[in-house]
Structure 1
Amino acid sequence: MPTFQTFKDLSVTFKPHPITDDLLVVKDKAAIFQSIKNLLLTRKGERPFQPNLGSSLDTALFEPLDFGSAAIVRNEIRECLKDYEPRIRVDQVGVEPDDQNNGYEISLQFTIVGRDDAPEAIEFFLERTR
């Protein structure tokens, strides 16, 4: 008998629910998308008591914008999600340098573990910030 998992996380906006006044909850795909974004944008050493949580994308973004640094970004994304997001299995990570906008076009395809859903995809732009 197949099992169906559901996932819940607190919304990072910390806005209250308009009726119950509890914190908003994000569910299933939205919870995983939020978690992926948070993991990739968290620098290693940023979280107290969890110094290895996060990624080193911030340092890779200050390397020359070429296919060599794109490979570093790709590997960093794969390793971060493999280590800290057990709800997914990463199928493909695409990283394309964008010289015009000084960043990388990221396309991420993954499968949610424990569900028979079709693979999910996220696309976003990763750029340097100060």
Structure 2
Amino acid sequence: MANEKAFLGKGWSFPPVFDKFEKEVVMLEAEESVRSSISLLLSTELGERVMQPAFGWKRDRWLFESLSTSSATAIEKEIETALLMYEPRVNLNEVRVLPDAMESGKISIRVDYTVRSTNKRNNLVFPFYLTEK
């Protein structure tokens, strides 16, 4: 179990949270760290990070686009590429765009993945608003 945690890592939460009693940064470990990392990647516009300009995906490109089958597929492919490049701790099972509330300008992006070191399947549903920035 200790080896699994070492592989999955330990890192700061984002945005950083500070424990006022311990007077230190709250750290995320293991699968919680992986989930946070995927969420951060999905929240980041390509080029937004100065020191890692290739981190993220072309999120803002889709803000004012109408959702069609081809645009949903393109979004899925962009996210798959970003996750394959920047999240080596998981095997990606599926990325799916779910047009939950298209009328309100919201889609959900479901990421199904398996954590490599534990072989546990997980999923994350990320809300993405097409009409707001």
TM range (shorter): 0.7 to 0.9
Secondary structure at 1:69's aligned position in 2?
Answer: helix
Aligned letter for 1:107? R
Counterpart in 1 of 2:76?
74
Q: CA RMSD in A?
A: 1.9
Do the aligned partners of 1:41 and 1:54 also contact (CA within 8 Å) in 2?
Answer: yes
The percent of aligned pairs where both chains have the same amino acid is: 26
Q: TM-score, normalised by structure 2?
A: 0.85
Q: 1:13 to 1:96 in 2, by over 3 A?
A: closer
**What is the alpha-carbon distance in structure 1 between the residues aligned to residue 64 and residue 34 of structure 2?**
27
Following superposition, which runs of at least 4 residues in structure 1 exceed 4 angstroms of deviation? none
Matched, 1:101 2:110: no
Counterpart position of 1:53? 55
Q: Distance in 1 between matches of 2:96 and 2:48?
A: 26
Q: Could you tell which deviates more after superposition, 81-90 or 15-24?
A: 15-24
Distance of 1:27 and 1:102 partners within structure 2:
34
Counterpart residue number, 1:116: 119
Q: CA deviation at 1:18?
A: 3.5
Gaps of 5+ in 2: none
Which residue of 1 is the match for residue 30 of structure 2?
A: 28
TM-score (norm. length: structure 1): 0.87
Which amino acid in the other structure matches residue 5 of structure 1? E
Indicate the residue corresponding to 2:18 in structure 1.
16
Relative to its length, the structure with more strand (as a share) is 2
Give the secondary-structure state (helix, strand or coil) at the position aligned to 2:85: helix
Helix, strand or coil at the partner of 2:66: coil
Quick check: which one's helix share is greater?
Answer: 2
- Gaps of at least 5 residues in structure 1 are none
